[in-house]
Amino acid sequence: MFGSLLLLACLFLHLVVSIPQPACRRCCDHLPPLDDTATLRESIPAMPEVRTYINMTILKGDKGDRGERGTPGKPGIEGSLGPRGTEGLKGDKGQAGAPGDACKTQHSAFSVGRRKSLHSVYNYQALIFDTTFVNSPEHFDMFAGKYRCHVPGIYFFNVNIHTWNRKETYLHIMHNDSEKAIVYAQPSDRSIMQSQSLMLPLRGGDEVWLRLFKHERQNAIYSDDVDIYITFNGYLIKPEAE
């Protein structure tokens, strides 16, 4: 059986080999030679252009959340000053402010008294006082009997004295070394009260004081340890404008 099949296969192979085959022909033999490039390009039909179209409405998703705010950028260059605008309407009057600090208010005042009588000697005498009623802020020198100006301006001064029986009363209100006003009373059997007042413009460092005349005129002023008969007062009226 196996031998018969092998014999048949050999016969079939012999028949196939013995049948003449047609000559081989290439599918591109009808085309022009390859060196004629222009002719070849014209003979080949153009390929259609393919363009891809995407429908964005299909691909678009839902709107996302708002992102965080970015860091501010650098400031730009400062521009030039613009023209001045029109003047606005006048506003309403505001309310009065609170009072200023009292410490800033300039002031100076004194009032002093003397309990002892005084008689003239061979030289002029400055009246020295032993009682202080007011001395704010310590501008009156009790040891020298002189007011020293610390706040330039206009000042008011007043002197009150009591005369001595049968003696003349003769003293001056002094501005530095210059006599400015006199307090005078002629000798009399009765003692009386005398007064003198004036205003003076003072500069810083000026002194105002009382001076009893010297011994060439017999004069005196009276006081005692019980009552005060002699007083000297002064205060700043208006400080000098700065």
CATH class, range 109-239: mainly beta
Q: Which residues pair with 210 in a beta bridge?
A: 173
Residue 148 to residue 165: CA distance in whole angstroms: 33
CB-CB contact of 137 with 178 (8 Å) = no
Q: How far is CA 17 from CA 3, 4, 12, 14, 202, in A?
A: 22, 21, 9, 5, 155
Domain edges within the chain: 109-239
pLDDT of residue 172: 96
Residue 75 to residue 72: CA distance in whole angstroms: 9
pLDDT per residue over 78-134, tens digit each?
A: 878 878 888 888 888 878 877 666 556 789 999 999 999 999 898 999 999 999 999
Rg of the chain in Å (alpha carbons): 65
Residue 180 to residue 103: CA distance in whole angstroms: 32
pLDDT of residue 15: 54
Which positions of the chain have pLDDT values less than 70? 1-48, 50, 52-60, 99-104, 216, 242
CB-CB contact of 223 with 161 (8 Å) = no
Q: Is 77 buried (19+), middle (13-18) or exposed (0-12) by CB count in 10 A?
A: exposed
